[in-house]
Amino acid sequence: MFLIDTLILAAGVLIGLGALASKLSARLGLPGLVVFLLIGMGVGTDGLGVEFDNYQAAHAIGTVALGLILFDGGLRTPLASFKLVWAPAGVLATFGVLITSLVTGVAAAWILDRPLLEGLLLGAIVGSTDAAAVFSLLRSAGVRVERRVAALLEVESGSNDPMAIFLTIGLLEVLTHQSTLGWDLLLLFVQQMGIGAAAGVLGGKLAVKLINRSQLGTAGLYPILTGACGAVAFGVAANLGGSGFLAAYLAGIIIGNSRIVFQNGTLRFFDGLAWGSQISMFLVLGLLVTPRHLVPVIGSGLLISCVLIFIARPLSVFPLLRPFGFNFRETLLVSWVGLKGAVPIILATFPLLFGLESGALVFNVVFFVVGVSAVVQGTTLPWVARLLRLDLPPEPQSPVTLELASLFDTDAEIVEYVVKADDPVVGVHLRDLDLPEGAIVAMIIRDRKLVPPRGSTLIQAGDYVSLVLHRDCRAQVDRLFLQSFPMTGGQQDRP
């Protein structure tokens, strides 16, 4: 009992530190994953002395956390963005990962003086772009780039893990004499991608019908039901030999782009859950590594990182994006945002689980390469975007959308606008607002005090104006209250 109590206390302290450290990472310009990994390493064997070498537990925690992160990423990926870039993203997620893995693997075999297959295994492990890192940078770190480029980065990172997993498992089976190069690997690839895609799309569509017809007794159960549907899609795909990660991501896209009961509340629930998963995952992976074991691989790790960042990734991006009309600057930015994160570290536990003799070396090199990628590419992304003139100015603060506490699907919602000095409604009486039928001002907050809405009430800069409106007139109301339209921002908290 005492051990369980201590574990709960330690987990609470570490996760709390991780949450607080996310604010520090933004100020320092470091990706959150770097800070979370450093906290885990600081608490580990060479820090406070906490010993954790359970690779199976780390793999299980990482798999669950990554599945949740991808599901949340799918929920927030507009279907229009997916349709806009599905072809180039699909090419990068398959052939791009293959080219990156081959080039990096050949270089790794030479640099580490290991057999070619072992080098290719290391290349496969670091071949994919990490979804958690990319989602965090593009959605939480204030990095805003052109829409098509941003969509490509998100969709590619959310869908390229199956290829890296396929290559890693396939090469491990060859190295451990469980399989041979040939049709077996091709069949594994078809299973991973085909079954994963089918389970995700079908699972997402069935989930929407189930959620809207369930009529649960309380609103708090709807996010639970939604998460269960995502888990079922993941589990069905994985048990049939497909990619659970791809299934979770596609199921999230289907659900997130459909009308479901308690939708906004569900999105807020999974936003917090995804952050908690990301913090927990990187803390555990940080605990897993012993910093002194990284010292011998610093030289080789730096060389492999340089090959990966400056040679392998560009070689896999430039020729593949050329047919899709991306210009040089856009392609260069996509090439630079090849961030590595949790997936390579999780895959690096596979050689240890398979009992590969060089498993420890592969794990330490992969961890070092991930750290270099996160620091170098993650911290310089805003600067590179500005240098390439692909960064966009901050969007107008988006309104807060509050969901009506209804246990059935409704076409009404509560929207809160933060009025700025240059917004068109400043100095306008409520009675003079050209509000569409189906929209009404419900409340105004000014200087933290309630101002009852009357026809004679004058809207002032700094007001928080809440309206109840039908969803079909949302765009018209946005044009009244927002200086720039359309817009797609995050939520703005009340003071």
**Residue at a domain's end among 359, 387, 415:** 387
In-domain check, residue 392: no
Q: Are residues 376 and 436 in the same domain?
A: no
The DSSP string of 110-132 is HHHT--HHHHHHHHHHT-SPPHH
Cβ burial, residue 418 (10 Å; 0-12/13-18/19+)? buried
Closest CA to 456 of 464, 444, 470: 444
d(CA 23, CA 21): 5
Same domain, 368 and 425: no
CB 126 within 8 A of CB 340: yes
- Please check whether residues 9 and 140 belong to one and the same domain: yes
Residues 354 and 413 in one domain: no
Residue 142 lies in a domain: yes
Closest listed residue to residue 260, CA positions, set 210, 330, 194? 210
Same domain, 407 and 379: no
Q: Are residues 55 and 130 in the same domain?
A: yes
Asked whether residue 395 is domain-assigned, the answer is no
Residue 8: burial class (beta carbons within 10 Å; 0-12, 13-18, 19+): exposed
Peptide bond into 486 cis (omega under 30): yes
Q: What is the pLDDT of residue 299?
A: 94
- The reported pLDDT for the residue numbered 363 is 92
408 plus 380 within the same structural domain: no
Q: Are residues 101 and 189 in the same domain?
A: yes
Nearest to 155 by CA among 233, 251, 231, 90: 90
Q: Is 486 among the domain residues?
A: no
Spatial neighbors of 115 by CB under 8 A, at least 6 apart, are 109
Q: Is residue 394 part of a domain?
A: no
Q: Residue 299 CB: number of other CB atoms within 10 A?
A: 10
Domain boundary among 345, 366, 387: 387
Is 494 domain-assigned?
A: no
Selection from 157, 99, 105 nearest residue 319 by Cα: 99
Please state, in angstroms and rounded to a whole number, the distance separating the CA atoms of residues 415 and 9.
Answer: 39
CATH assignment of the domain containing 423: 3.30.70.1450
Do 312 and 431 belong together in one domain? no
Which of 336, 366, 387 terminates a domain? The answer is 387
Q: Are 481 and 466 in contact (CB under 8 A)?
A: no
Structural domain total, the chain? 2
- Residue 457 inside a domain? The answer is yes
Looking at the structure, do residues 431 and 374 belong to the same domain, yes or no?
A: no
* CATH number reported for the structural domain that contains residue 76 in this entry: 1.20.1530.20
Could you tell me if 297 and 429 lie in one domain?
A: no
* The pLDDT value given to residue 411: 66
Tell me the pLDDT of the chain (495 aa) as tens digits.
557 777 788 778 878 877 777 666 666 666 677 778 888 888 877 777 777 778 888 888 888 988 898 898 889 888 887 888 889 999 999 999 999 999 999 999 999 999 999 999 999 999 988 766 676 666 555 566 777 888 888 888 878 877 888 888 888 888 887 666 656 677 777 888 899 999 999 999 999 999 998 888 787 889 999 999 999 999 999 999 888 988 998 999 999 999 888 887 888 899 888 888 888 888 888 888 888 888 999 999 999 999 999 999 999 999 999 999 899 999 999 999 888 877 888 888 889 888 888 889 999 999 999 989 988 888 888 788 888 888 776 554 444 555 555 545 566 777 888 888 888 888 889 888 888 888 888 889 888 888 889 888 999 988 888 888 887 888 888 888 875 443 333 333 333
Question: Is residue 393 in a domain?
Answer: no
For residue 178, give Cα distances in angstroms to 172, 185, 301, 342, 494: 8, 11, 29, 27, 58
**Integer Cα distance of 188 and 160 in angstroms:** 15
Is there a single domain that holds both residue 118 and residue 158? yes
Range of the domain at 380: 2-387
